[in-house]
Amino acid sequence: MIPFKVPLRDMRFLMNEVFDYPSHYAALAPQNPADGEPATPELVDAILEAAATYCEEVLAPLNVSGDREGCQFHQGEVRTPTGFKEAYAQFVEGGWQTLAFPTAYGGQGLPMSLNLLKSEMLGTANWAFNMYPGLSVGCINTLLQYAPESIKQSCLPKLISGVWSGTMCLTEPQCGSDLSQVRTRAVPTGDGHYTLTGTKIFISSGEHDLTENIIHIVLARLPDAPAGTRGISLFLVPKFQFDAQGQLGARNSVHCASIEHKMGIHANATAVLNFDAAHAILIGEPNKGLEAMFTFMNTARIGTAIQGICHAERSYQGALAYARERRSMRSLSGTKEPDQVADALLWHPDVRRMLLTQKAIVEGGRAMVYAAVQISDRVFGAAWRGDHAAYRAGDAELGFYTPILKGFLTELGVEAASLGIQVYGGHGYIQEHGMEQILRDARIATLYEGTTGIQALDLLGRKVILSTRGQCVRDFTSRMRRLATPHLLRTDTLGRLARAAWWRAWQWDRLTWRLLWRARKDRDSIGAASVDFLMYSGYVMMAHCWLQQALVAEKALTQGQDADFYRAKLETAEFYFSRLLPRADAHLLAARASTQTLMQMSEARFGAPS
């Protein structure tokens, strides 16, 4: 397996030159509700360097071995692969879980975006490992916003330190994304607590040996709850009960019945959990559990979007190294390496097409995520200081990004992982080089936290049509036009990119208006068009991010800086606009197609096994 290197140069380019994180962090400091020290450029750089060392030297070497050994299940207990406990102990000792949480509960009080950027590094090095502390982040955020102060004082210091971990428990055997079918019941005991009974499946990090306690955030129904999603409440169910000081008590009646045998991510335990009158604590208001859970889910969905970038980056690094070393045939335009038996794969146009596709996905997708996580800083800061108006405004803006990032970037992450195997040819299909593991691990990202179809319905049905009547799209396309307009009359490559971006902004507005109009008469049109609308939105949003990078790179080149790096940015942007952005046209046509082409076939005409 090719050694992993954290792409610090590209990360710093986006943070310091494209999105101006130093100014962003300076603006956050005066209103920082977490009361931590300012995120100065020097501190941020030290964090990035230390995280990179930990990822490259500790986590990355465990990625392949962890996959091959997997988690071991025996009588309700799970043992993580060799080296994971030691790596997690270093994670806790390094204070990595504490970065972005309030100092009042043991955190460092730094911006949430730093935690998400750290997660990118950890996830690219070893996604299965990253999931153990990653699930805890959403648990912590949910408790910070909705739990009573007594629970915060007893529970959060342990979670924030990493001594405890957390999960989210939604899915049940009879329901996945349709949470209206949740059957898990919580019965009040009369002392302010509850007993919770039911089964939850597909619980990532649901049982393991890395922490002394696991805090499960569980959706369940009260006895008098109304039917449907309006009757769901949210509960805290610990593996071990604890007192007001966070000291562990008796084992709770929640047990792991089994762990799943999965296509990938073998080193992370996906558990079936049985709750048998387990001691539970209500979080938030009765019957308003989904509202609280969405704090957890939005965090998880951004993390899943990052997974698309992680797998694309890891696959690109492996494929690029192989394409430089492996030799096959001669270049069509003439011999490039006459002293070798054949030319390197890198000289062949189709190999370059695959590598540039991976590169464009990684660097364009990373820019999309880095733009969004700046919003998360404002959202979580407003939530922690109790500024409800600012929270709602920021959450609505972040909510527009979330389904696009999660749906679009995970789909492209799978594509990039598949291309990595293709570059290797037959060698990519075998275990030796680790490329097939990347594809197996990447595949789940399009499924959990809501499939691509669910993300698409959330985007088009809830965010665009119901919540904003298209205003969220118009707000973003206005930013696209403001960036592109000053460059429309240029005759160079950047002029062509700016005109293409401006045109796509207009086209996106028009498509949105057309789907809004159609949905008034044909409700099925929302589901029929939603995935193509999401993918179209993703390609256009990425185009905007590539134009941002290209403009910054051009300016740096005129100043004589790091010519190869900035020239590569410009050339990758040109590749994206020429070779990947045209895919949006197919999604545009499909989104506009008649609903009848999907719905006219009767059930019988689908056919049946003979």
* Alpha-carbon 524 to chain mean position: 28
Residue from 449, 554, 571, 574 carrying the catalytic annotation = 449
Tell me the two tokens of residue 407. 């749906």
The token duo for 358 is 């991976």
Which pLDDT does position 30 carry in this prediction?
A: 63
Dihedral in degrees, nearest 10, Cα atoms 83, 85, 89, 95: 90
168 phi/psi in degrees, rounded to 5: -125, 130
Q: Quick one: tokens of 131?
A: 């999931």
- Number of C-beta neighbours around residue 422 at 10 A: 14
Q: Which residues pair with 196 in a beta bridge?
A: 186, 278
Half-sphere exposure of 8 (CA within 13 A, CB side): 13
Q: How far is CA 1 from the centre of its chain?
A: 24
Q: Exposed/middle/buried for 426, CB within 10 Å: 0-12, 13-18, 19+?
A: exposed
For residue 148, give both structure tokens. Answer: 């009573």
SS3 label, residue 83:
coil
Cα 40 to Cα 28, 101, 102, 476, distances in angstroms: 11, 17, 17, 29
Report the distance separating Cα 215 and Cα 406, nearest Å: 25
Query: What does the pLDDT read at residue 300?
Result: 64
In which element (H, E) is residue 160 found?
A: helix 149-161
Tokens of 54: 């930990």
What pLDDT, on the 0 to 100 scale, is given for residue 103?
92
Angle at 111 between CA 203 and CA 402, to 5 degrees: 50
**For the chain, which residues make up each domain, given as ranges?**
470-594
* Interatomic CA distance for residues 192 and 540, integer angstroms: 50
pLDDT of residue 182: 92
- Tell me the torsion sign for CA atoms 564, 570, 571, 572: positive
3-class secondary structure, 344: strand
H-state helical runs in 230-348: 289-325
* Tens-place pLDDT, residues 113-171: 999 999 999 999 999 999 999 999 989 988 988 899 999 999 999 999 999 999 999 99
Task: Quote the CA–CA distance of 498 and 592 in Å, as a whole number.
Answer: 25
**Residues of the chain falling short of pLDDT 70:** 1, 30-35, 295-300, 609-610
Give me the count of residues in the chain: 610
Active site residue 325: no
Q: Which two tokens stand for residue 29?
A: 């400091």
Give the span between the Cα atoms of 2 and 253, in whole angstroms.
44
Please list, in sequence order, all residues whose beta carbon lies within 8 angstroms of the beta carbon of residue 550, skipping any fewer than 6 positions away: 494, 497, 569, 570, 573, 574
DSSP 221: B
Taking only the tens place, the pLDDT of each residue in 183-241 is 999 999 988 899 999 999 999 999 999 999 999 999 999 999 998 888 999 999 999 99
From the list 516, 514, 529, the residue with the least C-alpha distance to 590 is 529
